[in-house]
Amino acid sequence: MTTTRSSFYQDLSLQMDVIGALVLRELHTRFGRNNIGYLWLVGEPMLLATVIGALHAFQPGHLGSSMPPVAFSLVGYCVFIIFRGIFNKAEGILESSLPLMYHRMISVLNLSVARVIIESAGCIVTFVLLYSIIILLGFAELPARPLYAIGGVAGMIWISFAWGLNVTAVTFDRPTLGRLVHPISYFMMPLSGAFFAVEWMPPYIQTAADWFPLVNVFEITRYGMFEAASDQHLFPAYLIANCAFFTYVGLIGIRRVRNRIHLS
């Protein structure tokens, strides 16, 4: 038993080292060291999120809601770009990293996890910085239920990772399918719940929206951030089941993809 446990921790440590090296490689490849270098990881989403927040700075509450509009839009956009970044980067992840497949210790899962860490870290740091600023400016208050907010963001990371695994598996060696990924992610924005609350919708739309995992992510996150947010459309068990299912299917998919990779 002791030997088995020791071997497990050694393998886990090795995988963490591999993922750490892949994260550093990806940062250097994508951002380099010129100008502000790695700070672009935060700077890029911060520029876009700042514009979104500024557009809502002088608007009244959405549809009579007491949730502050700047904070509402900032939460929606920053959480959504976690999904967009992970989902979009999942397409082409293998084509850009095929030389790494020569190393037996590097797996498709390692590549996916490294990308998830990079995209999530950049978006979370951006959100924390901008939300702190708008609190100081009086456009927002401290999160009402922090654990729900953390759970919502964790749910977004998980569902994005799970769907991303499937995107990686389906689009490998299928460039036509790969071209659909980016349009799909933009199409998801108005449907995801990033900029609307389910309670604002007619009853028949509310019923349909409750079945969409991304909508549930935003409902959980907003319930954690805003005192006035409704708890009538929170289904964490359904979200977890959805994430687990797509993770399982995605892991099977990338395992089959590994067998189709031919290195010359």
- Residue 262 buriedness (CB in 10 A; 0-12 / 13-18 / 19+): exposed
Number of domains in the chain: 1
More confident residue, 175 or 189: 189
8 A C-beta contact, residue 90 and residue 181: yes
| pLDDT tens profile 27-77 | 887 776 665 666 666 766 777 777 777 766 666 555 556 788 888 989 999
Q: What is the pLDDT of residue 56?
A: 63
Return the number of other C-beta atoms located less than 10 Å from residue 215's C-beta: 24
Q: What is the pLDDT of residue 33?
A: 65
pTM: 0.90
8 A C-beta contact, residue 156 and residue 83: yes
Residue 150 half-sphere exposure, CB side, CA atoms within 13 Å?
3
More confident residue, 167 or 9: 167
- Residue 193 buriedness (CB in 10 A; 0-12 / 13-18 / 19+): buried
Question: 148 is in which domain, residue-wise?
Answer: 2-260
| Separation between Cα atoms, residue 221 and residue 214, nearest integer Å | 11
Q: What is the pLDDT of residue 103?
A: 76
More confident residue, 12 or 212: 212
| Separation between Cα atoms, residue 174 and residue 147, nearest integer Å | 40
Q: What is the pLDDT of residue 94?
A: 81
Element counts in the chain: helices (H) and strands (E): 10, 0
- Residue 146's alpha-carbon distances to 111, 133, 221, 222, in angstroms, are 31, 18, 9, 10
Q: What is the pLDDT of residue 1?
A: 54
Q: What is the pLDDT of residue 256?
A: 87
For tokens 């399982």, name the residue.
248
Q: What is the pLDDT of residue 81?
A: 92
| pLDDT tens profile 121-153 | 988 998 999 899 889 988 889 999 999 999 999
Mean of the per-residue pLDDT values of the chain: 85
| pLDDT tens profile 189-222 | 989 988 889 998 998 999 999 999 999 999 999 9
